[in-house]
A and B are shown apart, each in its own frame.
Chain A
Amino acid sequence: MELICPAGTPAAFREAVDAGADAVYCGFRDETNARNFPGLNFSREELRDAIAYARRNGCQTFVALNTFMRAGDEEIWHRAASDAVNLGADALILADFGLMAYVRERYREQRLHVSVQASASNPEAINFLVEAFEAKRVVLPRTLTIADIARIKRKVACEIEVFVFGGLCVMAEGRCSLSSYATGKSPNMNGACSPASHVRYRQDGQQMLSELGEFTINRFGPGEAAGYPTLCKGRFDIGDARGYAFEDPVSLDVMGEIEALKAAGVSALKIEGRQRGKAYVAEVVKTLRLALSTSPAARGPLLARLRAMSEGQKTTVGAYEKRWR
């Protein structure tokens, strides 16, 4: 199975290549990708250099153009797709049908992957994308169990890539307007969920408040670490119950299920974390590379060390296990 690694900066890109990534994915410095955060992502020149570096080291480069073209501004996405093709991207990771059609018409040979943002969560959806756009690979939404994945793989004519480590969306990706509802900035059209421009921390007596737009997302007591107010990881009141209504501040770790994913027919394992620093990327990629090449018995201690780097040190296997639902 291939290891697909994130890079938010040229430095992280090189670290991922050096640490043994089979492919590194990244995006341009604008709203054409779903990690449109200040200080992240690549200029055209940086991508050119990154692709060359990856090539020299036998590594592939995937370019994420996984937001939805804003009507009237399609040219921004068209130009990004054309530039990525011309700079030599090994695959484009796309979510918008209109953009898929554009790439398919103009660049017959370009390898096209379906982004998790497209929410292709069943065989019929995937076969539609293979038939309509000749998609070669689909990144599955984090809504499926491993048994679901195995069943889907048997019925589709393309490769399967799944997220195994890093941040975790609770909602079906690409189909969530929660952040847009609170901030007016749409993850699908502007490329950022819970954008920093709308985040505020405020001391209120003994407590620290985190806000997104006009809404309180969490309150932290003295000594409690104040996490980033990602909307679906907030604490809310439902009736008399107070707590993490959607998901605790945990991150995804399915590396314990490598054998099951392999048996399910998965082609590639994806690490989330384009917003992470180069040291994190280097450590995670190196460890997971080692874990993939070692015996299942020897994996345990390797992965335990990695868990310490996870958000809040708590991890979940998420939807891959049925009871999560």
Chain B
Amino acid sequence: MTELTMGPIYYLWDGPKWRDFYLRVADEAPVDRVVLGETVCSKRQHFIEPHLVEVVERLERAGKTVVFSSLALVTLERESRFVRDLIETSHHQIEANDLSAIGLIKGRGHLIGPLVNVYNGATARLLAQRGAERICLPPELPFASVSQIAAAATGAMLEVFAFGRIPLAISARCAHARSKGNTKDNCQFVCGEEPDGLSLKTLDRQSFLVLNGVQTMSHTCQALVSELEEMRDAGIRSLRLSPQDCDMVGVAKTFREVLDRRIDPESALDQLRAIYPTAPFSNGFHHAKEGAAWIARAKNAGFAH
């Protein structure tokens, strides 16, 4: 059966909102695994710390596997130390999101996050030999690459980024803070003002990207739903749902329903659009097209029966 993973929250949500999100996931979301912890910006860590113990306990009591996410971009000594401490002191599995975590965690079972460049079977195999048990592939991979890597039988279970705004880039510079007249070092956590990202439009008013602190994400929400059948046939047994500021419990339920064939992909997409109406859906990367593109399938093409 295909598993569902709730990925880490990339946005800055205040402590109570963060806590409430996970308590509801614990109680209601049909996901197998929850990846927790700050991934985008090391400055934000203190927002979630007061609630971490409670959230972990509730998720585990609800039967979810809890995984801790490492930072995506590590440049400062403080950030290096943070990753080292996380790996040395955590009793949970770690999801590595940069090379420092991959280096430090050698020999211990771990996960590889979608921000690590795994483009081929040789790379997946190398990471698996070092202890990677599960790899969430980069969102920009076309299905041709996903199926090739799956066919390479690397020893790691593969996961695909199935729902959420796509993390497209990360920088040492904070465009989000700059847009409000601050610098990264004096940011005053203005990224917290946009819990679903700050919209960036072209000069012709096309919605294009959203800023999330030092991270740049797509305006569209990647939604791989009509593609689930072919991914399952290719050997993909795990899907990642990346939290957006919408009813993610509803999103998880919808994916569970469509995976269990209780609803068809078209109905699932209708449900998802109702849950997250603010972002148009995309699936272009999967189809080797522009990531922003939406490739519509003929009705009922996803499931034959």
Contact A184 B293 (CB under 8 A): yes
The complex places the Cα of A152 from the Cα of B197 at a distance, in Å, of 33
Contact A236 B201 (CB under 8 A): yes
Partner of A124, one of B76, B103, B115, B205: B103
The complex places the Cα of A121 from the Cα of B183 at a distance, in Å, of 21
Residues facing A in B291-305 (CB within 8 A) are 291-293
The complex places the Cα of A241 from the Cα of B179 at a distance, in Å, of 7
- How many chain-A residues does the 8 Å CB contact rule pick out? 72
Given A122-B80, A144-B75, A148-B75, answer yes or no on A98-B172 (Cβ-Cβ < 8 Å).
no
One of A5-13, A53-61, A125-133, A257-265 contacting the partner = A125-133
Contact A124 B140 (CB under 8 A): no
Distance in angstroms from A72 CB to nearest chain B CB is 4
One of B4-12, B120-128, B224-232 contacting the partner = B120-128
Contact B80 A217 (CB under 8 A): no
Contact B290 A181 (CB under 8 A): yes
Q: Is A242 an interface residue (CB 8 A)?
A: yes
Contact B200 A119 (CB under 8 A): no
Residues facing B in A143-199 (CB within 8 A) are 143-144, 148, 151, 170-172, 174-178, 180-184, 186, 188-189
Shortest Cβ distance from B167 into A: residue: A177
Q: Is A42 an interface residue (CB 8 A)?
A: no
Contact A124 B171 (CB under 8 A): no
Q: Is A70 an interface residue (CB 8 A)?
A: yes
Interface of B is mostly: mixed
The complex places the Cα of A101 from the Cα of B128 at a distance, in Å, of 13
The complex places the Cα of A153 from the Cα of B87 at a distance, in Å, of 23
One of A32-40, A82-90, A208-216, A285-293 contacting the partner = A208-216
Shortest Cβ distance from B101 into A: residue: A124
Interface centre among B138, B144, B173, B293 (most CB of A within 10 A): B173
Contact A216 B127 (CB under 8 A): no
Contact B205 A237 (CB under 8 A): yes
- How many chain-B residues does the 8 Å CB contact rule pick out? 74
Shortest Cβ distance from A77 into B: residue: B120
Residues on A with C-beta less than 8 A from B162 are none
Contact A70 B179 (CB under 8 A): no
Contact A177 B99 (CB under 8 A): no
Contact A177 B139 (CB under 8 A): yes
Interface centre among A119, A120, A151, A176 (most CB of B within 10 A): A119
Given A101-B122, A180-B140, A324-B173, answer yes or no on A124-B104 (Cβ-Cβ < 8 Å).
yes
Distance in angstroms from B261 CB to nearest chain A CB is 29
The complex places the Cα of A325 from the Cα of B290 at a distance, in Å, of 29
Residues on A with C-beta less than 8 A from B85 are none
Given A128-B102, A216-B203, A236-B203, answer yes or no on A177-B122 (Cβ-Cβ < 8 Å).
no
Q: Can you list 30 pairs linking A and B with CB atoms under 8 Å apart?
A: A69-B119, A70-B120, A98-B120, A98-B123, A99-B122, A119-B98, A124-B100, A124-B104, A128-B103, A142-B172, A143-B73, A171-B169, A174-B117, A176-B168, A177-B138, A180-B291, A181-B285, A182-B292, A184-B293, A186-B140, A215-B202, A215-B206, A217-B202, A234-B202, A245-B211, A246-B173, A246-B175, A247-B173, A322-B185, A325-B173
Binding site for A on B (CB under 8 A): 73-77, 79-80, 83-84, 98-104, 106, 115, 117, 119-123, 125-127, 130, 138-141, 144-146, 148-149, 152, 166, 168-175, 178-179, 183-185, 198-206, 208-209, 211, 216, 218, 284-285, 288-293
Binding site for B on A (CB under 8 A): 68-72, 74, 95-99, 101-102, 118-125, 127-129, 131-132, 142-144, 148, 151, 170-172, 174-178, 180-184, 186, 188-189, 209, 213-219, 232, 234-239, 241-242, 245-247, 319, 322-325
